[in-house]
Amino acid sequence: MTGTVLEFDEARGFGTIRGGDGADHFFHCTAIVDGSRRIDVGAAVHFDVVAGHLGRWEATAVSPVADRP
């Protein structure tokens, strides 16, 4: 799935991605593929969606669009 990073709190390590389907998905910095634990607000990203710890869908395998074919 593709989407855009809506917000990211670097100090707390989590943010939100708006998917192409219009749904917002929480993500934790450990879900960022390159290991940087940081991503820019407004970045276009690819991601997968999995059942999260809090009973809601979360984004995982988050990477900038340029990093995946």
Give bridge partners of residue 17 from the DSSP assignment. Answer: 5, 25
3-state DSSP helix/strand/coil % of the chain, to nearest 5: 10, 50, 40
Q: How far apart are CA 16 and CA 55, in angstroms?
A: 16
Given CATH 2.40.50.140, say whether it is the number of domain 2-67: yes
DSSP secondary-structure letter at 15?
E
C-beta of residue 27 within 8 angstroms of C-beta of residue 58:
yes
For residue range 40-49, list pLDDT tens digits in order: 999 999 999 9
CB atoms within 10 A of CB 49: 18
For residue range 1-30, list pLDDT tens digits in order: 999 999 999 999 999 999 999 999 999 999
* pTM listed for this prediction: 0.88
